[in-house]
């Protein structure tokens, strides 16, 4: 269903991406932003699932500036390696690369963005700073609380796990108090990464509910 392609950011940097298109004309487009594990099997599967729902979905490889085509699994050893990419994240560069993905699919129609973990934070930042978006969704973005003074320019939805040891509920409440304009859901008992069916922290009930809410949100806002 999908294909690998190359995007060019505003500074001329070329990065990889994975794009999946539906069998018929897409009703809108969705940019999918990776976790720290790269545009791996899971992120490609997310794109494929959105394509199956009628959206053109594209996932830019936002780690290509550090290591091209980095993809990782979820063992403790692999997690330790993946963490090196966020020791000193270059947010402006990741946003330039995200903008390149938005620009690549904007001809389809309205563009939404969804991100997971690191990508959840990127998706929120994109909603506040980038152009060409119509809606944004972030899953368990760890630094969204730091960005919460920035107002999204588009309707935004956030998902968090109640038992996420890396994102305290006090952070979620900070976001909620600063951003009453954002829809925020907390999933009881869910851990970090609860929406990834390839991780030990996968919580099917929470993932399914968050997925249903996300699809309804995009269906509502991504109308041509």
Q: Which residues are catalytic?
A: 117, 164, 192
Angle of the 91-105 helix axis to the 118-129 helix axis, nearest 10: 70
CA separation for the pair 108, 104 (Å, rounded) = 9
Q: How many residues does the chain have?
A: 224
Contact 194, 140 (CB under 8 A): yes
Among candidate residues 173, 185, 95, the one with its CA nearest the CA of residue 139 = 185
Query: Locate tokens 């990889």: which residue?
Result: 16
Q: Which helix (H) or strand (E) holds 59?
A: strand 55-60
Can you read off the two tokens belonging to residue 186?
A: 């907390």
DSSP conformation class of 75: S
């Amino acid at each position: 269903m999908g294909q690998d392609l190359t995007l060019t950011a505003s500074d001329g940097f070329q990065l990889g991406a994975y794009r999946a298109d539906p069998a018929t004309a897409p009703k809108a487009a969705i940019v999918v932003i990776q976790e720290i594990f790269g545009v791996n099997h899971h992120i490609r599967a997310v794109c494929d699932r959105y394509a199956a729902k009628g959206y053109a979905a594209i996932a830019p490889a936002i780690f290509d500036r550090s290591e091209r085509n980095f993809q990782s699994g979820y063992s403790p050893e692999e997690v330790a390696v993946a963490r090196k990419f966020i020791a000193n994240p270059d947010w402006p560069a990741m946003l330039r690369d995200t903008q390149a993905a938005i620009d690549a699919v904007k001809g389809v129609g309205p563009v939404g963005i969804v991100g997971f973990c690191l990508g959840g934070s990127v998706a929120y930042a994109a909603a506040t700073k980038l152009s060409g978006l119509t809606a944004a969704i972030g899953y368990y973005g760890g630094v969204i609380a730091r960005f919460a003074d920035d107002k999204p320019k588009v309707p935004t939805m956030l998902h968090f796990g109640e038992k996420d040891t890396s994102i305290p509920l006090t952070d979620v409440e900070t976001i909620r108090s600063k951003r009453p304009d954002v829809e925020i859901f907390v999933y009881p008992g869910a851990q970090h990464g609860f929406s990834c069916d390839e991780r030990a922290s996968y919580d099917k009930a929470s993932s399914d509910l968050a997925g249903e809410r996300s699809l309804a949100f995009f269906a509502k806002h991504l109308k041509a």
